[in-house]
Structure 1
Amino acid sequence: MEKAKIDGLQLFSLIFLFEMGSAIVLPLSVQARQDAWISVLGGMLGGLVLFLIYQRLYLYYPNKLMTTYIQDILGTVLGRIIGFVYVVYFLYLAARVLRDFGELLVTFSYPETPVLIINAIMMATLVYALNKGIEVMARTSELSFVVLYILAIIGFVLVFVSGLVKIDHLRPMLENGIKPILKAVATETLYVPFGEMIVFTMILPYLNRPEKAKAVGLSAVTISGINLMIITAINIGVLGVDLFSRAVFPLLATIQQIEVADFLERLDIFFLIALVIGGFFKIGLFFYAATIGAAEIFRISDYKKLVYIVAIIILFASISIADNYFEHIKEGLNLVPIYLHLPFQIVLPLILLIIAFFKNRKKNKRKDKGQVRKRKDKMRDFLRPVCL
């Protein structure tokens, strides 16, 4: 771990920007059709439960990263193996989000520029940020949070002023029952973006007041979830179910519809700024977690020695994980949730929490017995002269 501390507001900003990340630009829960916004709400509720699991593990080991306290829970050998697998998991997620970011920019603004070049520019920026440390990223997140929220409010107002939203597109609610919604939650929105909060098991130890972790985390997840729900509902209201389900980037399609007084239009720059801010923090936190975790596992005192190596791995992994963007999306929807997100976001943390609970209960019992014994010894020492 580096010697750094962040406060509650900075943690809130980091969580909010991370959760929004690529989720604001990618289609969420299209299988639920006009009820997609409800599945986002369901994913948020599940995300709150997952954060409580991660936060409880943090309370058991407040000064340790997840890759470190796994070794305390499972033993050194097994713990280091699983810790290393988590590092690879964070690397893979960083590469996936980086690919999303690059493909979107190429499609949207730079069709003649190779994805590798776009991704390399983002990684160069992140290398600079990581060399400055988590405190600098946290302070930057406060300003970025304000910018993103101002853009969101302006965009929200312009969409409604333009008269684009048609409530009928959101009807009928629950047309096919609750089953499609539950399926969308169980296969998509629970994991992305809410389950990805697992990365904050590598950030929480830097919080200067551990008692604030629960309130800050739950409020950030709730507010980001409500924002994503509103964005999804607006996308459906503007585009309609069919166009929403076919659009590669629904928010971009929505923003391109804005036209006020025949002169205020083509506000794609709003989308671009939101993409860059969200992508920077989401990729950056996965990048940081992988780097700091690798440094802990391999006993490297300064994580900055690994920054360039990890950056190169993420960069080339982002290009090689899929031959094209549609294969990349298909892999993310069909394979990653079951084979990666489910075990790493839910199953393993639950197992770790159960073992940590029993280990700490035994430890507390031994402490209680020791305290009782000490009190008895003190009482015996006090009464001995009297008895004599």
Structure 2
Amino acid sequence: MEKAKISASQLFILMVLFELGSSLLLPIAIEAKQDAWLAILLGMVSSFILFLIYHKLYLYYPDLLPTEYMQKLLGKVIGTILAFVYILYFLYDASRVLRDFGEMLLTFSYPDTPLFIASALLILVTIYTVRKGIEVIARSGEILFIFIYVLAIIGFILIVCSGLIDVTNLKPVLEEGILPVLRVTFTQILYFPFGEAIVFTMILPYLKNPKKAKVTMLCATGLTGVNLAITMLINISVLGVDLTARSQFPLLSTVQSIQVADFLERLDVFFMLALVIGGFFKISILFYAAVIGTANLFKVKSPSQLSYPLGLIILFMSMTISSNFQEHLHEGLRIEMLILHIPLLAIIPPFLLLIAFLRNRKKQRW
């Protein structure tokens, strides 16, 4: 492990930035139609159970990375294989987020720029930051967190002043009953974006005060859930359900609609900056977890040496995972959920916790 420590407030900020990340960009939970906000809130509450599981595992092994305690719990061979699977998952997830933001930049600002160039510039900045370590990532988060929230408040005020909000787009509530909302909650929102925060099990050993871990994680998730619910309420009330579902990036479409006093318009460039910052932190944290996990698993003394090769893997994976953005979204919201998110985020951690509980109970008896 890197010899570094972060405070509870820094962990809180990193978790909020991570969970907002690409979820602000995409039309999450839109299958629930005008009840998307409710599905987000239910997903947030449900994710508390996952976080309590992750936290309990951390309490059993507070000084060990998951790549280490997996080997203790499952044995050297199976534990190493599972740890390697999680490292691959972090790399794959980082590549998906990189593709999201590369496509967004091309769609709104650089239509004639090759996707490879936009993605390469993003990953180069991320590589530089990850090489500096978790403390630098955390301090950067403290500065940019304020900037993002100032922009968010300004954006909300401008949308209200523009008279764009039409509350009738949010009616009727629960038109088709609660089942469609629950289906979206437990097949999508629970895992993306909330369950993805399993990556912070790789960060928790760096926390200065371990006693604050649980409260910090739950508060960060609560704030993120409320923010995402408000964002979807605004998107649907401004664009309507159909346009929100058809838009690749509904928040930017909403911001493009702002027009105040016939001169204040085309503000999407400023909000793109805030979205890119969120994406940067999400990629950085996934990337950092992959770097320290790989260094720990393969006994690499200097983790920073792995930044460039793993960064190149993320870059080329982001270019090759799908042929176009629609295919990319389909893979992320359908295939990835079943193959990766549900097993790695919701099935394996409780299994590991059960083994940890049984093993520690035997030790206590002795």
Q: Into which bin does the TM-score normalised by the smaller protein fall?
A: over 0.9
Distance 1:274 1:323 in 2: 27
| 1:274 Cα offset (Å) | 1.6
CA-to-partner distance for each residue in 1:51-70, whole Å, 9 max, x for gaps? 11111111110011111111
1:111 aligns with 2:111: yes
CA-to-partner distance for each residue in 1:122-160, whole Å, 9 max, x for gaps? 111011101111000001101111011101111111111
What TM-score do the two structures reach when normalised by structure 2?
Answer: 0.99
CA-to-partner distance for each residue in 1:306-363, whole Å, 9 max, x for gaps? 1111001000000000011111111111100011000000100010011111111111
Query: Which residue is equivalent to 1:18?
Result: 18
Q: Which amino acid is the alignment partner of residue 56 of structure 2?
A: R
Query: Which residue is equivalent to 1:175?
Result: 175
Matching of residues 7-156 of structure 1 within 5 Å: 7-156=7-156
Distance 1:162 1:324 in 2: 34
Matching of residues 304-315 of structure 1 within 5 Å: 304-315=304-315
Distance 2:294 2:98 in 1: 20
Q: Which amino acid is the alignment partner of residue 25 of structure 1?
A: L
1:281 aligns with 2:281: yes
Q: Percent identity?
A: 55
SS in 1 for 2:323: coil
1:236 aligns with 2:230: no
Query: Which residue is equivalent to 1:272?
Result: 272
Q: Flag structure 2 segments of 5+ consecutive residues without an equivalent.
A: none
Distance 2:346 2:27 in 1: 23
| 1:269 Cα offset (Å) | 2.1
| 1:183 Cα offset (Å) | 1.0
Query: Which residue is equivalent to 2:193?
Result: 193
Larger radius of gyration: 1
CA-to-partner distance for each residue in 1:222-262, whole Å, 9 max, x for gaps? 00110000000100000011111111111011001111111
Q: Which amino acid is the alignment partner of residue 108 of structure 1?
A: F
SS in 2 for 1:316: helix
Distance 2:138 2:126 in 1: 13
Q: Flag structure 1 segments of 5+ consecutive residues without an equivalent.
A: 367-388
Query: Which residue is equivalent to 1:255?
Result: 255
SS in 1 for 2:172: coil
* Structure 1 consecutive aligned stretches of length 4 or more whose deviation exceeds 6 Å: none
Distance 2:304 2:240 in 1: 48
Query: Which residue is equivalent to 1:386?
Result: none
Q: Which amino acid is the alignment partner of residue 214 of structure 1?
A: K
Distance 1:337 1:291 in 2: 24
Distance 1:365 1:226 in 2: 44
RMSD: 0.8
Distance 1:77 1:11 in 2: 32
Distance 1:245 1:174 in 2: 17
| 1:105 Cα offset (Å) | 0.5
Distance 2:217 2:100 in 1: 26
Distance 1:222 1:260 in 2: 32
Q: Which amino acid is the alignment partner of residue 171 of structure 2?
A: R
The number of equivalent residue pairs is 366
| 1:302 Cα offset (Å) | 1.3
